């Protein structure tokens, strides 16, 4: 599948030039030796390994092969302004020439952010097949309470050893599966953007993602037969492909839609006090709710007249948003009106044509049924309901989540369109 990535970079029918800053993406049992050779070839002499309490146990696999310093943030890493400041201090004191993210998603986001801030390269050493963000070029951070993505450096290379990440707690791998399956709705939402607003969609990147999901689903069905290490390797491959697709696309469009907005909303702690869900667990729960909503709405028939009358001014109504988003309302409005005016909202770009309904129904065929998604999540051992991840399990909470999640990003999704059409009518 990595060959497919190279082919897309050579030439793409979409006409865009897709580039990668990540030179190598290794998933192999000799990953550490390959990292050692890479570091030697680059002439780096002072690597700094960034880990947390859970993942520093894997650092000796690296320091046995080459000299490196280690900084382990206390406890379980969280990608916040507090952690990046702590690692930044160590970087100022140690003056490393390369950083190594030794851990799962949050350790990578912290490292990626600090590397970018200090103009340093970084290497990725994933210790769990839990998220698709290892090789991506955006850092997903919780910045002063608001969930934001920052443009930052992707790793110059990634080295993952199945013997390491297959030993991670099973719920981390299950979470990775949730993140991969989330691409079903991400890809559907991308098509919705293309159909409703003429947003560019690269068929090659969409095919690459679909291929990665397909391989994972196949591995899931043969899990007992192929064994856990091979299964975890398939999960990691799919996650790495997804991360590379984000880089090739230049944004997270191929890998993040309404299902991710649900997860981001829960992490903003405005509808809920706290939640215990891992990123991919939340994405899986969000995915199931979103897919159910999409098939339901498309079966009922979309009200195109109402959709074409959506007024971003009514949707982005401060008085309606403030009771929910409170101190984050300014940030939410800035995000949704990137140019400061209603015309800058993604909703203002919607154009309904006589072809719209046919094209949406065509796109819907690529979206599995809610039952099929639920079955895949269960087989992976991933949660399927809000209650299972420490959120309010009531239908009212899920409804409120579906209603407010689209505000997390300006990105157009079918969920955003459905919510906005409803809002425009009420206001
Ligand atoms: Zn393309
Ligand atoms: Zn994700």
DSSP 181-228: HTHHHHHHHHHHHHHHH-----HHHHHHHHHHHHHHHHHHHTHHHH-H
Which ligand has the minimum distance to the alpha carbon of residue 175? 2
- Note the ligand closest to the C-alpha atom of 280: 2
Q: Mention every residue, 6+ apart, whose C-beta is less than 8 A from residue 341.
A: none
Q: pLDDT at position 425, please?
A: 79
**Res. 427 pLDDT band, cuts 50 70 90:** low
Tell me: the pLDDT tens digits for 181-224?
999 999 999 999 999 999 999 999 999 999 999 999 999 999 99
% of the chain beyond a pLDDT of 70 = 100
Distance CA 99, CA 23 (A): 16
- pLDDT one-digit tens code per residue, 82-104: 889 999 999 999 999 999 999 98
Residue ranges of the domains in the chain? Answer: 2-165, 173-426
CATH number for the domain running over 173-426: 1.20.1090.10
Rounded to the nearest angstrom, the distance between the alpha carbon of 382 and the centre of ligand 2 is 14
Stretch 278-297: mean pLDDT: 97
Given pLDDT bands bounded at 50, 70 and 90, which one contains residue 137? confident
Lowest mean pLDDT among 18-22, 146-150, 320-324, 377-381: 146-150
Mean pLDDT of 242-268: 93
Supply the pLDDT for residue 276. 80
Cα 49 to ligand 1 centroid, rounded to whole Å:
35
Element (H, E) at 231: helix 228-249
Instruction: Return the ligand number nearest the Cα of 249.
Output: 1
Q: Report CA(205)–ligand 1 centroid distance (Å).
A: 6
Q: Which residues have C-beta under 5 Å from ligand 2, the single-atom ion?
A: 179
pLDDT for position 199: 97
pLDDT digits (tens, 9 = 90+) for 157-180: 999 999 999 999 999 999 999 999
Considering every ligand atom, which ligand is closest to the CA of 4? 1
Mean pLDDT, the chain, whole residue set: 94
144 has pLDDT over 80: yes
Q: Which two tokens stand for residue 287?
A: 């995915």
Place 1 in a pLDDT band, splitting at 50, 70 and 90: low
Arithmetic mean of pLDDT, 356-370: 97
Q: What global pTM score does this model have?
A: 0.93
The answer on pLDDT for 385 being more than 90 is yes
Give the pLDDT mean for 142-167. 88
Query: What is the dotted CATH code of the domain comprising 2-165?
Result: 3.40.50.1970
- The pLDDT assigned to 426 comes to 77
* Ligand in closest contact with the CA of 279: 2
Q: Which of 65-79, 84-98, 109-123 has the lowest mean pLDDT?
A: 65-79
Ligand 1 centre and the CA of 339: distance in Å? Answer: 27
- Mean pLDDT of all residues in 310-337: 93
Q: How far is the centre of ligand 2, averaged over its atoms, from the C-alpha of 140 (Å)?
A: 9
Cα(319) to ligand 2 centroid in Å equals 31
| CA 307–ligand 1 middle distance (angstroms) | 29
204 Cα to the center of ligand 1, angstroms: 6
Measure 206 CA to ligand 1 centroid, in angstroms.
9
CA 185/CA 80 separation, integer angstroms: 27
DSSP codes, 70-89: EEEESSS---BHHHHHHHHH
Question: What confidence score (pLDDT) does residue 64 get?
Answer: 98
Phi and psi at 182, nearest 5°, equal -55, -20
In sign, the C-alpha dihedral spanning 163, 165, 170, 176 is negative
Q: What is the pLDDT of residue 140?
A: 80
């Amino acid at each position: 599948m990595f060959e497919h990535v190279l082919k897309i970079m050579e030439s793409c029918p979409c006409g865009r030039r897709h580039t990668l800053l990540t030179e190598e993406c290794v998933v192999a049992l000799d990953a550490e030796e390959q990292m050692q050779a890479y570091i030697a070839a680059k002439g780096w002499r002072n690597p700094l390994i960034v880990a947390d309490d859970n993942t520093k146990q894997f650092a000796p696999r690296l320091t046995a092969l080459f000299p490196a310093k280690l900084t382990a943030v206390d406890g379980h890493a969280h990608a916040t302004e507090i952690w990046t400041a702590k690692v930044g201090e160590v970087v100022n004191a140690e003056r490393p020439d390369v950083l190594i993210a030794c851990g799962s998603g949050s350790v990578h986001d912290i490292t990626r952010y600090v590397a970018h801030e200090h103009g340093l390269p970084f290497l990725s050493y994933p210790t769990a097949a839990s998220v698709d963000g290892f090789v991506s070029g955006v850092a997903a951070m919780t910045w002063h309470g608001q969930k934001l993505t920052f443009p930052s450096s992707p790793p110059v290379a990634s080295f993952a050893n199945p013997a390491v990440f297959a030993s991670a707690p099973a719920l981390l791998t299950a979470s990775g599966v949730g993140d991969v399956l989330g691409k079903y709705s991400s890809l559907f939402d991308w098509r919705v953007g293309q159909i409703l607003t003429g947003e560019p969609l690269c068929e090659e990147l969409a095919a690459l993602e679909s291929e990665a999901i397909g391989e994972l689903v196949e591995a899931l069905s043969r899990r007992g037969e192929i064994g856990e290490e091979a299964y975890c390797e398939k999960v990691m491959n799919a996650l790495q492909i997804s991360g590379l697709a984000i880089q090739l696309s230049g944004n997270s469009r191929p890998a993040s839609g309404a299902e991710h907005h649900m997860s981001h909303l829960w992490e903003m702690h405005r509808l809920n006090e706290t939640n215990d869900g891992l990123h991919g667990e939340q994405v899986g729960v969000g995915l199931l709710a979103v897919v159910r909503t999409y098939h339901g709405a498309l079966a009922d028939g979309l009200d195109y007249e109402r959709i074409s009358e959506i007024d971003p001014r009514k949707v982005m109504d401060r008085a309606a948003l403030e009771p929910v988003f409170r101190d984050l309302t300014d940030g939410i409005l800035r995000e949704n009106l990137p140019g400061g005016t209603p015309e800058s909202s993604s909703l203002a770009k919607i154009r309904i044509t006589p072809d719209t309904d046919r094209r949406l129904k065509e796109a819907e065929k690529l979206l599995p049924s809610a039952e099929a998604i639920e079955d895949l999540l269960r087989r992976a051992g991933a949660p399927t309901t809000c209650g299972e991840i420490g959120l309010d399990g009531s239908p009212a909470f899920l409804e409120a989540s579906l209603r407010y999640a689209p505000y997390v990003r300006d990105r157009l999704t079918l969920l955003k369109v459905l919510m906005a059409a409803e809002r425009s009518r009420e206001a």
